Amino acid sequence: MENRPLEYDYTVAKMFMLTTVVLGIVGMLVGVILAWELAFPAVNTIAGSGLAEYTNFSRLRPLHTDAVIFGFTVSGIFATWYYVGQRVLKVSMAESKFLMALGKLHFVLYILLVASVVGSLLLGITTSKEYAEFEWPIDIAVVVVWVIWGMQIFGLIGIRREKSLYISIWYYIATFLGVAMLYLFNNMEVPTYFVSGGIGAWYHSVSMYSGTNDALVQWWYGHNAVAFGFTVPIVAMIYYFLPKESGQAVYSYKLSLLAFWGLMFVYLWAGGHHLLFSTVPDWMQTMGSVFSVVLILPSWGSAINMLLTMKGEWQQVASSPLIKFMILASTFYMFSTLEGPIQAIKSVNALAHFTDWIVGHVHDGVLGWVAFMIMAALFHMAPRVFKREIYSKSLMNTQFWIQTLGVVLYFTSMWIAGITQGMMWRAHDEFGNLAYSFIDTVTVLHPYYTIRAVGGTLYLVGMFLFAYNMYKTMTSGRRVEESELQSASPMGA
């Protein structure tokens, strides 16, 4: 008994793997529709003018961001937690009936939450605050789902065999705490129905904060939702999956220590860079700029630690598409965390803010880093969870190149669009008058919007290849033995 390897229970992990794939496709499909709407406005009424209310750009936009953040990414975080958590803590979910039941409840509530979010956003029920659009009843449900996840983390930690917490666990704990703090404070709102004695819509609420204060709290949240949704948990993933897949030990423990605590301390200060030249105090704007630049250190600390983990084993990048995904993710992480600080410098921000360059930045981060890492994690998990070989290696390679091309088209076109528009907004003629009317700065973007839509579409095609490959792995991949699952994942042709 003592000498037998642990049998991990991946029931809940599998459920969240499914939603990762499905919500990834949904979120990105909506994104692609939005991209084509900006390039060709006729797409806004694609389902007829009767349904235009539900297909037009402005109604769909929050659905896109929230589906990718709270659907795709959060599903990926949960899926990997229910896989990685057991393995690094050396304890199986099956050992605790309570955690098992709670995990299933976690999934069911999450699905209900997703359904209510999609429905309410389509109906236009929103608080307008970016990535915090949900009204108070949904906010409460979010808190419940999040607390359940916290119980899972600390419950599993409580019954662990491995006493020392692996680096990934640090990052999962930080994700849980960070999002909890940010979400609670940013969504402080007063339901109007109860205060007014039962008048109007029951779900409507009004923000506890007004004007500049509201903006300050919102971007403290908005920026750090990126930190604790798109950075911290994704770093948790790469610290587990890259060493596992490559069979290499993490390059430096000390560097991972420095990068972790550095990231925790520095990230929260940087939110002010979303509010440069706004009405928040100047000192706070400068703090936002300075800390954004300092943020390069811990970000690159993790990324370099990952790249150096491949030291002496670089041939794996050429031979394994799975390693390719992770190395490109890590590279995009470096790229994106250099681009962000550049945009946070005041003089650059004066040009870049409110333009498509910001949109480009978000997407090279999310498509290049977050999504690549999550897909790599799922590819690594699939053979271990389903006890089958990955269906097709060549399909993985095809997906990799199509999506890489998609990301490159996306961010290059948005760079050009953003800088073009920013320059045109500020251009003056020889008499000191504005050189362009606003609409001139819109029509000029048409070719870039078209290229972006093509890039986005390519990425979505890659998502479908991903879903197909995962489905085939699950249903018809060659069955594998435990001995084949030590490091590099088995892949079919």
Partner 1 sequence: MFHWLEKNPFFFAVAVFVVIAFAGLIEILPNFAQASRPVIGTKPYTTLELAGRHVYIKNSCNACHSQLVRPFKSETDRYGHYSLSGEYAYDRPFLWGSKRTGPDLMRVGNYRTTDWHENHMKDPAAVVPGSIMPAYGWMFKNKADVDTAYAEQVTVNKVFKTPYNAELPMADGSKVKVALADSVEAARASALEEAKVIAADMKDQDVKDAVAKGEIPEIVALIAYLNSLK
Does 185 sit near partner 1 (CB under 8 A)? yes
**CA-CA distance, 373 to 361, in Å (whole number)?**
17
From candidates 61, 346, 387, 472, binder to partner 1 by CB under 8 A: 61
Does 90 sit near partner 1 (CB under 8 A)? no
* Residues between 41 and 60 with contacts to partner 1, criterion CB under 8 A: 41, 44-45, 49, 52-53, 56-59
As given in the structure block, the two tokens for residue 286 are 């400068």
**Choice between 58 and 476, CB closer to partner 1:** 58
Q: What would the DSSP string read from start to end of 58-125?
A: HHHHHHHHHIIIIIIIHHHHHHHHHHHHHHHHT--GGG-HHHHHHHHHHHHHHHHHHHHHHHHHHTT-
CB of 333 to partner 1, least distance (A): 20
* Residues between 377 and 436 with contacts to partner 1, criterion CB under 8 A: 425-428, 433-434
Does 146 sit near partner 1 (CB under 8 A)? no
Does 264 sit near partner 1 (CB under 8 A)? yes
- Which conformational region is residue 200 in: left (phi greater than 0), alpha (psi within -120 to 50 degrees), or beta? left
Closest by CA position to 370, among listed 153, 41, 103, 74: 74
**Choice between 336 and 399, CB closer to partner 1:** 336
* Residues between 290 and 309 with contacts to partner 1, criterion CB under 8 A: 291
**Spatial CB neighbours of 220, under 8 Å, sequence gap ≥ 6:** 182, 185, 186, 268, 271
| Partners of residue 388 on adjacent β-strands | 479
Range in contact with partner 1 (rule: CB under 8 A) among 69-77, 202-210, 242-250, 324-332: 202-210
**Choice between 191 and 490, CB closer to partner 1:** 191
Residues binding partner 1: number (CB under 8 A): 91
Does 487 sit near partner 1 (CB under 8 A)? no
Does 312 sit near partner 1 (CB under 8 A)? no
Q: Which residue has the tokens 């991990």?
A: 8
From candidates 82, 83, 220, 325, binder to partner 1 by CB under 8 A: 220
Does 80 sit near partner 1 (CB under 8 A)? no
As given in the structure block, the two tokens for residue 150 are 């916290």
| Partners of residue 434 on adjacent β-strands | 428
Does 442 sit near partner 1 (CB under 8 A)? yes
From candidates 80, 92, 168, 207, binder to partner 1 by CB under 8 A: 207
**Choice between 189 and 245, CB closer to partner 1:** 189
SS3 label, residue 390: strand
Does 247 sit near partner 1 (CB under 8 A)? no
Closest by CA position to 128, among listed 218, 3, 251: 218
**Choice between 63 and 470, CB closer to partner 1:** 63
Report which secondary-structure segment, H or E, holds 207: strand 205-207
Range in contact with partner 1 (rule: CB under 8 A) among 24-32, 34-42, 311-319, 324-332: 34-42
Does 154 sit near partner 1 (CB under 8 A)? yes
From candidates 96, 105, 209, 408, binder to partner 1 by CB under 8 A: 209
- Which conformational region is residue 310 in: left (phi greater than 0), alpha (psi within -120 to 50 degrees), or beta? alpha
CB of 436 to partner 1, least distance (A): 10
**CA-CA distance, 406 to 413, in Å (whole number)?**
11
From candidates 111, 281, 338, 476, binder to partner 1 by CB under 8 A: 281
SS3 label, residue 433: coil
From candidates 144, 308, 359, 480, binder to partner 1 by CB under 8 A: 359
Annotate 430-450 with b (16+ C-beta within 10 A) or e (fewer): eeeeeebeeeebeeebeebbb
Does 84 sit near partner 1 (CB under 8 A)? no
Does 483 sit near partner 1 (CB under 8 A)? no
Does 62 sit near partner 1 (CB under 8 A)? yes
**Choice between 274 and 324, CB closer to partner 1:** 274
CB of 354 closer than 8 Å to CB of 401: no
* Residues between 110 and 129 with contacts to partner 1, criterion CB under 8 A: 124-129
**Choice between 58 and 319, CB closer to partner 1:** 58
From candidates 26, 68, 237, 280, binder to partner 1 by CB under 8 A: 280
**CA-CA distance, 225 to 96, in Å (whole number)?**
31
CB of 78 closer than 8 Å to CB of 106: yes
CB of 469 closer than 8 Å to CB of 391: yes
Range in contact with partner 1 (rule: CB under 8 A) among 24-32, 171-179, 235-243, 307-315: 171-179
